[in-house]
Amino acid sequence: MADIVASNRDRLLQAAVEAKTFAYVPYSKFRVGAALLTEDGEIIKGANIENASYGGTICAERTAFVKAVSEGKRKFAALAVTTDVASPIAPCGMCRQVIREFCSPDMPILLAASSYMEKEDGVRESTLGELLPFSFGPEDLERDRG
């Protein structure tokens, strides 16, 4: 799995930057782009889409997962996320839980600063397990109840 991530790292980060350009953020002005790498090397992009009711807003990470899952993709190798902020920003709690629904805790998540190519520390490499420790996942529903 590490090989597919390493060989697609730059392409994945660039796809997150491209996705960010399609963000619809008339209220917060906070653009986010996400790019999801499938185990077979396909990249699915997502941007945050805001709504006047606020509750109808969907984050970039969830947009990418909804697009992928609705097209039959269920196995993922990595996720990249970027914003217009000068330092890396991590997914919100709701997105972390959605990621956990489809990904193992050891899945790499690349958090890219807006100018990540100009900085040595512009990409923070993490895992879902680091971002969501002691997580609840689908396998927990199979546990004995007593």
State the pLDDT at residue 111.
97
Which residues partner with 142 through β-bridges?
Answer: none
CA torsion 129-7-102-74 (nearest 10°) is -170
Cα–Cα distance for residue pair 109/117, rounded to 1 Å: 17
State the pLDDT at residue 126.
96
Catalytic residue among 42, 61, 71, 101: 61
State the pLDDT at residue 91.
98
State the pLDDT at residue 99.
98
Active site residue 142: no
State the pLDDT at residue 1.
57
Question: How many residues would you count in the chain?
Answer: 146
State the pLDDT at residue 117.
84
Q: Which long-range contacts (CB under 8 A, 24 or more apart) does 6-10 make?
A: 8/37, 8/41, 8/43, 8/77, 8/78, 9/110
Cα–Cα distance for residue pair 100/113, rounded to 1 Å: 23
The residues of the chain scoring below 70 in pLDDT are 1
**pTM reported for the whole predicted model:** 0.94
State the pLDDT at residue 26.
98
State the pLDDT at residue 42.
97
